[in-house]
Amino acid sequence: MIEDYRKARRAAQKQVQRDISAGRYPYPVALSDILQDSGYQGEVPIGVMEIDMALIAGTRTHGRQNSFSRGFMPLLEDDSEFAAKWSALIDSQREEGLHEPIVVYEYLQRFYVQEGNKRVSVMRYLDMPSITASVTRVLPMPSDSKESRIYQEFLRFYRVAPIYGFVFSNEGSYERLAVFAGHDLDNPWPDDDVKTLRSAFSSFAESFQHRGGERLGMTAGDAFLIYLKIYGYELAVCGSPTEIADRLGRIWGELRVSTSHEPIAYLESPSEPPARTSLISDLKGLAKKAMSPKPLRIAYIYEFSPSTSGWAAAHDKGRVELERFYGGSVETTVYTDCKSDAAFDRAIDSAVADMSDLVVTNVPTQMSQALRAAVRYPQLKVLNCSVSLSHSAVRTFSTKTYEVKYLLGALAASLSDNHRVGYVADSPVYGTVAGINAFAIGAQTVDPHATVYLKWYSAKDYDWRRELAETDVRIVCARDVPNPRNPEESWGLYLVEHDGTEVHLGEPVWEWGRYYERIVQSIRDNSWRREADVLRDKALNYWWGLSSGVMDVHIDPVVPLRQRNLVEVFKQSLLNGQMHPFAGELKSQAGIVQPVGSARLASNQIARMAWLNENVVGRLPEERELSDRALDEVSVAGVIPLDPAVAAQREAKR
């Protein structure tokens, strides 16, 4: 119908005007222009198939390029022969469909039309998702660019699962997709698995487009990987288009956060309750509490048991203190040994059945499980003990442990008689390197000649005790909490006497009970909700330190008085802002990080620190050196790179 043509033409004219105003080329781009600049290796016939309309980017040559807007809407006059043919095509499509395939050339997963521009225009006008096409692939010139490497990975993927449309922004994404699907990029996938994935992604991509996903600054493929991570592959690819669209809607906040330039809001001190306005409002608040006898219910889900994990034991001590502080107005339930997805999900279902208001998870490796629970049960408030993980549905909480490590570093240097101290770190994850460097800077502040010998618990097959002894290191900063499985093992800061006796000197102290008290207070005075309103589309990370009273340092009485006083002076300087380990001049092993007079590093720079201070002897471990447990931790929140296939396998395993 000519009226359809007129509507399409008006849409084309508006789009051209918008593009010109925005400084964009207003017509379909020509592949010949692209290849003129970059060249290509050759052409490979692929065959006839259904292709996604959204992946049609332009025309093969200039031809009648100016007959269409950038979106393939028609521009020629409505009394032209072109308009008559276009109108006849749309009538034919409505009556019997368009059966003859168009001819396109694929270049870097985008299609350029050689024959069938008007058919593409009609199908775009009708908002059809796909069209039949005869495809020839144009192979790009060899390059070491990121774009080329990603495309080479796509070619591997296409050989085993011939699906167009998965466009990714990062290397390793096709590996992740294959691992999620239970396959690899070397062996052909069963036809049924390919069809299932193609159908699920088609529904997902259509919903993503309708929701305005292009405004997020990410591809549908990037979003699909997040979708798979949250829901798990088996559930994610099953269901009707309506069910897939509903699941996508539930995680839209996650997508917004993942594409933000500053996705994480570090809340570095507890929120204060709103000022009381009057005696009447206070009385109303008391009356409301009196009429609401239901206690706040909190479920603590631990990966391990407090009897086997010192970290879980520390959190559980805080849980008990929380209950004692609030009396019967707060009730807690503990679920232990919930490492597996099945055990975790059983705990969540039980917590929901028990009408829990808040779920607390205490290690970063529980984040994917916590996120899945938060999406499944949006009425739940969910916390994960970690730093710098960017998820909108789960809030994270942690402590500025680096402040206490700074104090312990100063103490260690003051007690060392040979300028040497040791530091044994756990895994190279967010926050860990800041602790190493703060310790080293604290030592350097007291003794400019202090050297910190760095070792790793998470590295396989080496004896760090022997290595420290061989370098005559006798002051060592080791595990932050005692090991219930080996109570005799030294932890915290300790001295190794010449006869091998180990003397405990001090350690970090976590006041998790006080931390949880402040969290509960924020829920009850509505600070929790106000933070979400003010910091919309941000991942909220509670990151509190000494000034919040949620952690401290303990110095053993065996330490001489002057050294204890030194630590107290440093502590007070931290509290009043006169001193900060990451302010002023900072020098790494590689050179200047920031010059004299600089302000403190930003929170994100501290949390995700991946450089070592100049007086540290050692390095960050490599992937091949890490234990199985450490690989799990690094794949969630690591500061060192992992092979994409290894990272994908760890991610899928969770």
How many angstroms separate the CA atoms of 158 and 166, rounded? 10
Q: In which band, very low, low, confident or very high, does the pLDDT at 289 lie, cut at 50, 70 and 90?
A: very low
Report pLDDT for 62: 85
Q: Do the domain assignments include residue 631?
A: no
Q: Do the domain assignments include residue 345?
A: no
**147 vs 555 pLDDT, higher one:** 555
Q: In which band, very low, low, confident or very high, does the pLDDT at 199 lie, cut at 50, 70 and 90?
A: very high
Of 86, 121, 169, 105, the residue nearest 15 (C-alpha): 121
Q: In which band, very low, low, confident or very high, does the pLDDT at 236 lie, cut at 50, 70 and 90?
A: very high
How many angstroms separate the CA atoms of 323 and 305, rounded? 19
Mean pLDDT for the stretch of residues 287-292: 48
What residues have CB less than 8 Å from 95, skipping those under 6 apart? none
Q: Do the domain assignments include residue 281?
A: no
How many angstroms separate the CA atoms of 639 and 637, rounded? 7
The string of pLDDT tens digits covering residues 63-73 is 777 899 999 99
Mean pLDDT for the stretch of residues 517-538: 94
How many angstroms separate the CA atoms of 60 and 137, rounded? 12
Half-sphere exposure of 81 (CA within 13 A, CB side): 0
pLDDT score of 272 more than 90:
no
Q: In sequence order, what DSSP letters do the residues of 423-488 get, joined into one string?
A: EEE--SBTTHHHHHHHHHHHHHHH-TT-EEEEEETTBSS--HHHHHHHTT--EEE--SS--TT-TT
CATH assignment of the domain containing 64:
3.90.1530.10
Chain centre distance of CA 345: 21
Asked if residue 8 lies in contact with residue 69, where contact means CB atoms within 8 angstroms, the answer is no
Half-sphere exposure of 1 (CA within 13 A, CB side): 7
Asked if residue 105 lies in contact with residue 44, where contact means CB atoms within 8 angstroms, the answer is no
Asked if residue 319 lies in contact with residue 297, where contact means CB atoms within 8 angstroms, the answer is no
Report pLDDT for 279: 52
Report pLDDT for 523: 96
Number of domains in the chain: 2
Report pLDDT for 645: 76
Which of 47-61, 243-257, 285-299, 396-410 comes out lowest in average pLDDT?
285-299
pLDDT score of 276 more than 70:
no
CB-based burial of residue 103 (10 Å sphere; 0-12 exposed, 13-18 middle, 19+ buried)? middle
Return phi, psi of residue 497, to 5°. Answer: -70, 165
Strands 451-456, 420-425: pairing is: parallel
Last residue of one domain, picked from the residues 106, 123, 142: 142
Return phi, psi of residue 103, to 5°. Answer: -115, 120
pLDDT score of 290 more than 50:
no
CATH assignment of the domain containing 421:
3.40.50.2300
Three-point CA angle 554, 557, 559, nearest 5°: 90
Mean pLDDT of the chain: 93
The string of pLDDT tens digits covering residues 360-371 is 999 999 999 999
Last residue of one domain, picked from the residues 142, 168, 189: 142
What residues have CB less than 8 Å from 37, skipping those under 6 apart? none
pLDDT score of 126 more than 60:
yes
Of 250, 248, 175, the residue nearest 218 (C-alpha): 248
Report pLDDT for 292: 52
Please report where in the chains the tokens 């929701």 appear, as a residue: 211
Mean pLDDT for the stretch of residues 281-301: 68
Residue 81 structural domain: 1-142
The string of pLDDT tens digits covering residues 319-333 is 999 999 999 999 999
Which of 129-133, 269-273, 576-580 comes out lowest in average pLDDT?
269-273
Q: Do the domain assignments include residue 570?
A: yes
Report pLDDT for 650: 79
Of 221, 217, 288, the residue nearest 256 (C-alpha): 217
Asked if residue 119 lies in contact with residue 137, where contact means CB atoms within 8 angstroms, the answer is no
Distances (CA, A) of 576 to 434, 435, 621, 628: 21, 20, 36, 42
Q: In which band, very low, low, confident or very high, does the pLDDT at 291 lie, cut at 50, 70 and 90?
A: very low
Mean pLDDT for the stretch of residues 513-517: 98
Q: In which band, very low, low, confident or very high, does the pLDDT at 460 lie, cut at 50, 70 and 90?
A: confident
Q: Do the domain assignments include residue 318?
A: no
pLDDT score of 351 more than 90:
yes
Q: Do the domain assignments include residue 339?
A: no
Q: In sequence order, what DSSP letters do the residues of 515-584 get, joined into one string?
A: HHHHHHHHHHTTHHHHHHHHTTTSEEEEEE-GGGTSEEEEE-TTS-HHHHHHHHHHHHHHHTTS--TTSS
Return phi, psi of residue 249, to 5°. Answer: -60, -35
Last residue of one domain, picked from the residues 125, 142, 159: 142
Report pLDDT for 273: 65
Q: Do the domain assignments include residue 521?
A: no
The token pair that represents 631 in the structure block:
């690989």
The token pair that represents 306 in the structure block:
């407090």
Report pLDDT for 275: 58
Report pLDDT for 649: 78
DSSP code, position 206 = H
The string of pLDDT tens digits covering residues 540-596 is 999 999 999 999 999 999 999 999 999 999 999 999 999 999 999 999 999 999 999
With the C-alpha atoms ordered 397, 400, 405, 411, is the resulting torsion angle positive or negative? Answer: negative
Which residues are registered as beta bridge partners of 56?
111
Q: In sequence order, what DSSP letters do the residues of 397-429 get, joined into one string?
A: EEE-HHHHHHHHHHHHHHH-SSSEEEEEE--SB
Q: Do the domain assignments include residue 126?
A: yes
Report pLDDT for 458: 92
How many angstroms separate the CA atoms of 89 and 131, rounded? 14
The token pair that represents 319 in the structure block:
């849980």
Mean pLDDT for the stretch of residues 620-647: 91
Asked if residue 385 lies in contact with residue 397, where contact means CB atoms within 8 angstroms, the answer is yes
Asked if residue 465 lies in contact with residue 632, where contact means CB atoms within 8 angstroms, the answer is no
Please report where in the chains the tokens 């062996």 appear, as a residue: 187
The token pair that represents 83 in the structure block:
């308009």
What's the distance, Cα to Cα, between the start and end of the chain in Å? 55
Q: In which band, very low, low, confident or very high, does the pLDDT at 651 lie, cut at 50, 70 and 90?
A: confident
